[in-house]
């Protein structure tokens, strides 16, 4: 497309692309914007180096004029978007890219691959955080996804409400708090379970977490307290009827004087399993597979569509709305959008209002799009904790039914004006 547009002369026309989802994943009440910070880093560093240009030339992917253009490529346009951690709904223009056609269209796959993955993980994490209440959640999915995707998933999970990660690469890159426990292999390595527990406590201290379901759970809990004393930090249960076993282990720990020892449960948890343990004496949850696969919805199906373009190649050329026509469900609305969230008298969100004309005065202070990039320069880089806090606040501003795990329609309607 870039090559053909360069040949036609349209490559430098000012254009506006928008990222949005036509619908939420089936049964979900709200979406979560995540990955924005990664998008900004990726756009800032997007380059075509000599090796890549040589490949494109050798394989005859593009012609010499296009190769020369790619060699000089730097994104110099503007990007607006929902701030990371914000919630979104069908049709929400979560990201808006304005630049020349060639610059903007080149970023489509880059932007969608990040937002679709991270937003799916964050939405699953948010549901799990709701189910967990005040109990902390540990991200433990690195062994269930791509090695690079695992780091991004840990970041998105933190935005969505997880407390820590077991992925040290994510901790190193994004400063997410890290925790971890030993595996069954560590117990099986030693001649006895007592030897394994002794080695771990002597190395890590009494505040460590001991895995207690390798052999006999009851015997392991007793041995764990004998080795570490009542100061034992936590025990982890990784199999069986977690509801029943958590009650039994809590009683046993209390009887042994380890009343402050916490119970961590793992074992293929999802938001429904977490909710079912609400009445159990569980102190923390570790979640892996379900989290990093979006709890059944590994993508948000966001799309990147041209919604406006200049009538001719000039900086001051007026923008014309454009849109694809379709007989199916893939229609879209042309024109650069604004978005605002209307609140009811109690300050609770009641509608996602999206329009292309003037913003109604009553919604002027409720607009959702914020500047992210101006003239190719990042203007909205922020700490990850800011996105995490924003999500908690945004979710709290939704109707109470948003926290229901049962299937349903989006918790507020989208209104096009």
Q: How far apart are CA 320 and CA 341, in angstroms?
A: 26
Neighbours of 99 (CB within 10 A): 23
Which tokens hold the place of 55? 């490949």
Question: So what's the pLDDT on residue 324?
Answer: 87
Question: So what's the pLDDT on residue 328?
Answer: 66
Question: So what's the pLDDT on residue 407?
Answer: 85
Whether residue 299 contacts residue 265, with contact meaning beta carbons closer than 8 Å, is answered with: no
The conformation of residue 280, written as its DSSP 8-state character, comes to S
Which tokens hold the place of 136? 């902390």
Q: Side by side, which strands form the sheet with 319-321?
A: 319-321, 302-310, 14-21, 95-100, 78-81, 370-374, 377-378
Domains of the chain: 2-121+297-416 (3.20.140.10), 133-296 (3.20.20.70)
User: What's the pLDDT tens digit per position in 361-391?
Assistant: 999 999 999 999 999 999 999 999 999 999 9
- pLDDT band of 393, cuts 50, 70, 90: very high
User: What's the pLDDT tens digit per position in 243-269?
Assistant: 999 999 999 999 999 999 999 999 999
Question: So what's the pLDDT on residue 313?
Answer: 84
Question: So what's the pLDDT on residue 236?
Answer: 98
> No. of H helices and E strands in the chain?
15, 18
Question: So what's the pLDDT on residue 265?
Answer: 98
Whether residue 85 contacts residue 389, with contact meaning beta carbons closer than 8 Å, is answered with: yes
Going through 108-170 in order, the beta strands assigned E by DSSP cover: 137-139, 164-165
What are the Cα distances from residue 394, in Å, to 92, 136, 265, 280, 369?
A: 15, 19, 29, 29, 14
User: What's the pLDDT tens digit per position in 205-244?
Assistant: 999 999 999 999 999 999 999 999 999 999 999 999 999 9
Whether the pLDDT of residue 37 is over 80: the answer is: yes
Q: Which residues of 360-381 are buried (b: 16+ CB within 10 A; e: fewer)?
A: eeebeeeebbeebbeeeeeebe
Q: How far apart are CA 317 and CA 330, in angstroms?
A: 29
pTM for this prediction: 0.95
Strands 164-165 and 137-139: parallel
Which tokens hold the place of 159? 């935005």
Q: Which contacts qualify for 317-326: CB closer than 8 Å, 24 or more apart?
A: 317/13, 317/14, 319/14, 319/16, 321/356
Cα torsion 345, 28, 122, 45: sign:
negative
Q: How far apart are CA 357 and CA 380, in angstroms?
A: 26
Question: So what's the pLDDT on residue 322?
Answer: 96
Q: How far does the chain reach from its first CA to its final CA, in angstroms?
A: 32
Which tokens hold the place of 46? 């997007």
User: What's the pLDDT tens digit per position in 178-207?
Assistant: 999 999 999 999 999 999 999 999 999 999
Q: How far apart are CA 326 and CA 35, in angstroms?
A: 30
Whether residue 129 contacts residue 284, with contact meaning beta carbons closer than 8 Å, is answered with: no
Q: How far apart are CA 311 and CA 151, in angstroms?
A: 43
Neighbours of 121 (CB within 10 A): 34
Q: How far apart are CA 177 and CA 385, in angstroms?
A: 11
User: What's the pLDDT tens digit per position in 54-84?
Assistant: 999 999 999 999 999 999 999 999 999 999 9
The conformation of residue 143, written as its DSSP 8-state character, comes to G
**Stretch 398-406: mean pLDDT:** 94
State the average pLDDT for the chain: 96
User: What's the pLDDT tens digit per position in 300-352?
Assistant: 999 999 999 998 888 889 999 999 887 666 778 999 999 999 999 999 999 99
The conformation of residue 24, written as its DSSP 8-state character, comes to P
Question: So what's the pLDDT on residue 1?
Answer: 96
Question: So what's the pLDDT on residue 279?
Answer: 96
Hey, is 108 helix, strand or coil?
helix
Hey, is 176 helix, strand or coil?
coil
The CA angle 45-50-53, to the nearest 5 degrees, is 90
User: What's the pLDDT tens digit per position in 134-168?
Assistant: 999 999 999 999 999 999 999 999 999 999 999 99
Question: So what's the pLDDT on residue 332?
Answer: 80
């Amino acid at each position: 497309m870039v090559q053909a547009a360069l040949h036609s002369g349209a490559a430098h026309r000012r254009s506006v692309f928008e990222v949005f989802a036509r619908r939420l994943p089936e049964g979900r009440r709200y979406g979560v914007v995540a990955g924005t910070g990664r998008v900004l880093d990726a756009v800032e560093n997007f380059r075509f180096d000599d090796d890549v240009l040589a490949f494109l030339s050798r394989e005859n992917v593009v012609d010499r004029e296009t190769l020369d253009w790619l060699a000089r490529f730097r994104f110099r346009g503007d990007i607006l978007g929902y701030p990371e951690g914000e919630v979104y709904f069908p049709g929400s223009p979560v990201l808006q890219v304005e630049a020349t056609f060639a610059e903007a269209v080149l970023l489509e796959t880059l932007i969608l691959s990040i937002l679709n993955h991270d937003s799916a993980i964050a939405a699953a994490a948010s549901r799990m955080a709701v189910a967990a209440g005040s109990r902390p959640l540990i991200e433990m999915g690195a062994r269930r996804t791509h090695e690079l995707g695992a780091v991004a998933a840990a970041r998105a999970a933190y935005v969505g409400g997880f407390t820590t990660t077991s992925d040290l690469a994510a901790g190193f890159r994004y400063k997410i708090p890290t925790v971890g426990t030993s595996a069954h292999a560590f117990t099986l390595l030693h001649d006895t379970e007592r030897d394994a527990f002794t080695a771990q406590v002597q190395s890590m201290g009494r505040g460590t977490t001991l895995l207690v379901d390798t052999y006999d759970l009851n015997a392991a809990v007793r041995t764990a307290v004998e080795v570490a004393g009542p100061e034992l930090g936590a025990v982890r249960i990784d199999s069986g009827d977690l509801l029943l076993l958590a009650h039994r282990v809590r009683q046993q720990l209390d009887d042994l004087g380890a009343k402050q020892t916490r119970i961590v449960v793992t074992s293929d948890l999802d938001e429904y399993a977490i909710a079912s343990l609400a009445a159990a004496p569980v102190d923390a949850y570790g979640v892996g597979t379900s989290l990093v696969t979006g709890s059944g919805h590994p993508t948000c199906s966001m799309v990147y569509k041209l919604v406006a373009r200049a009538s001719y190649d000039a900086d001051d050329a007026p923008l014309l709305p454009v849109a694809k026509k379709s007989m199916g469900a893939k229609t879209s609305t042309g024109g650069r959008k604004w978005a605002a969230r209307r609140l009811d008298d109690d300050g609770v969100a009641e509608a996602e209002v999206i329009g292309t004309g003037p913003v109604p005065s009553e919604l002027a202070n409720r607009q959702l799009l914020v500047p992210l990039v101006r003239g190719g320069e990042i203007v909205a880089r922020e700490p990850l904790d800011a996105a995490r806090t924003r999500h908690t606040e945004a979710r709290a501003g939704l109707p109470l039914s948003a926290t229901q795990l049962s299937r349903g329609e989006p918790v507020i309607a989208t209104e096009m004006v």
